[in-house]
């Protein structure tokens, strides 16, 4: 595919996270709209057709590589890159992103830090154990746990305020969503996202609308529910307490999922 340097943005819709906050589901639903475009699955260079990972895995490949990957078949299609690791980018790479995507619409989904951390650790446990069944592995407080917390970048991924602060220097209209709203009213959330991206269900073709309705009800990715020991759950709760409070105050939202994580731990 030839490079189209006339397009205003290389990527039109950027979702920067958070990891384990329904970014895959949202990408799948928005991609039902006929004006959206998901780049070709280039795994393992990319993560499926959702995460290009340009600014972390693939920056060394150069901008022309990214332009070529993201180039849509029709120039008016809105190109999507939903890479949660982008939330951790430093100022230099965010500025570079702004230079090549000056009018991109940026979305940041926030999830209760404890619930998100447990989901992330389950995902990493799935990979580490070569997809063991739920009863074959356990997340427990030991040296391996601490190494996994570090590898999964739990603290950094939970620093919603600081991540947003960096990105908002370049993009002053970031759409911030609460993952719990996706659970309670997914239709309303997607309508907000579409409006933010200057799209609407009203301008969908009948075929796209049918696909959209199907995808709304479909779960795209679910971690294996490996049990987590009480001490490990409470360790994470203490580690992430200030992250949750800071996000709730700054973004004026409330997280409640942590209760579901801790209540099963009430009895040893």
At 1 the pLDDT is 41
Count of H-run helices and E-run strands, the chain: 12, 5
How far from 82 is each of 34, 51, 76, 115, CA to CA, in Å?
18, 5, 19, 21
Residue 222 has pLDDT above 80, yes or no: no
**In which domain, by residue range, is 170 found?**
13-265
Strand partners, 107: 15, 175
**Upstream peptide bond of 44 is cis (omega within 30 degrees of 0):** yes
Mean pLDDT for the chain overall: 94
pTM confidence score: 0.94
At 130 the pLDDT is 86
Instruction: Examine residue 2 and state whether it is found in any structural domain, yes or no.
Output: no
Q: In degrees to the nearest 10, what's the CA dihedral of 181, 197, 248, 183?
A: 10
Distance, in Å, from the CA atom of 183 to the CA atom of 185, rounded to the nearest integer, reads: 6
Which residue from 29, 17, 18 is spatially nearest to 220, judged by alpha carbons? 29
How does pLDDT run across 40-56, given as a tens digit for each residue? 999 999 999 999 999 99
Residue 267 has pLDDT above 50, yes or no: no
Cα-flanking dihedrals φ and ψ of residue 25, to 5°? Answer: -60, -45
Q: What is the CATH number of the domain that holds 140?
A: 3.40.50.300
Q: Confidence band (pLDDT; 50, 70, 90) for 4?
A: low
The answer to whether 257 and 180 are in contact (CB under 8 A) is yes
Instruction: Examine residue 190 and state whether it is found in any structural domain, yes or no.
Output: yes
Domain count, the chain: 1
Instruction: Examine residue 7 and state whether it is found in any structural domain, yes or no.
Output: no
What's the distance, CA 262 to chain centroid?
24
Place of tokens 């579409």: 194
Instruction: Examine residue 8 and state whether it is found in any structural domain, yes or no.
Output: no
How does pLDDT run across 111-156, given as a tens digit for each residue? 999 999 999 999 999 988 988 998 999 999 999 999 999 999 999 9
Q: In degrees to the nearest 10, what's the CA dihedral of 83, 86, 88, 90?
A: 170
Instruction: Examine residue 226 and state whether it is found in any structural domain, yes or no.
Output: yes
Distance, in Å, from the CA atom of 24 to the CA atom of 245, rounded to the nearest integer, reads: 26
Instruction: Examine residue 55 and state whether it is found in any structural domain, yes or no.
Output: yes
At 266 the pLDDT is 46
Instruction: Examine residue 91 and state whether it is found in any structural domain, yes or no.
Output: yes
Instruction: Examine residue 6 and state whether it is found in any structural domain, yes or no.
Output: no
């Amino acid at each position: 595919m030839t490079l189209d340097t006339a397009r205003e943005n290389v990527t039109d819709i950027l979702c920067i996270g958070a990891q384990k906050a329904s970014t895959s589901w949202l990408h799948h639903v928005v991609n039902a709209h006929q004006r959206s475009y998901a780049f070709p699955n280039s795994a393992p260079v990319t993560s499926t057709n959702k995460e290009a990972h340009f600014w972390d895995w693939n920056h060394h490949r150069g901008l022309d590589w990214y332009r070529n990957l993201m180039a849509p078949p029709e120039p008016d299609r809105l190109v999507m890159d939903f890479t949660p690791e982008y939330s951790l980018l430093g100022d230099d790479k965010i500025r570079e992103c702004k230079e090549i995507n000056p009018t991109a619409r940026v979305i940041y989904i926030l999830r209760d830090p404890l619930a998100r951390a447990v989901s992330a650790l389950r995902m990493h446990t799935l990979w580490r154990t070569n997809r063991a069944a739920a009863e074959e592995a356990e997340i427990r407080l030991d040296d391996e746990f601490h190494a996994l917390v570090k590898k999964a970048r739990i603290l950094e991924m939970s620093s919603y305020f600081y991540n947003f602060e960096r990105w908002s220097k370049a993009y002053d209209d970031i759409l911030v969503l609460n993952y719990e709203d996706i659970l309670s009213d997914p239709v309303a959330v997607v309508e907000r996202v579409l409006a933010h991206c200057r799209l609407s269900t009203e301008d969908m073709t009948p075929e796209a609308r049918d696909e959209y309705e199907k995808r709304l009800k479909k779960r795209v990715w679910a971690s294996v529910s490996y049990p987590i020991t009480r001490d490990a759950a409470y360790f994470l709760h203490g580690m992430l307490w200030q992250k949750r409070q800071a996000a709730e105050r700054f973004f004026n939202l409330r997280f409640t999922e942590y209760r579901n994580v801790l209540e099963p731990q009430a009895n040893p």
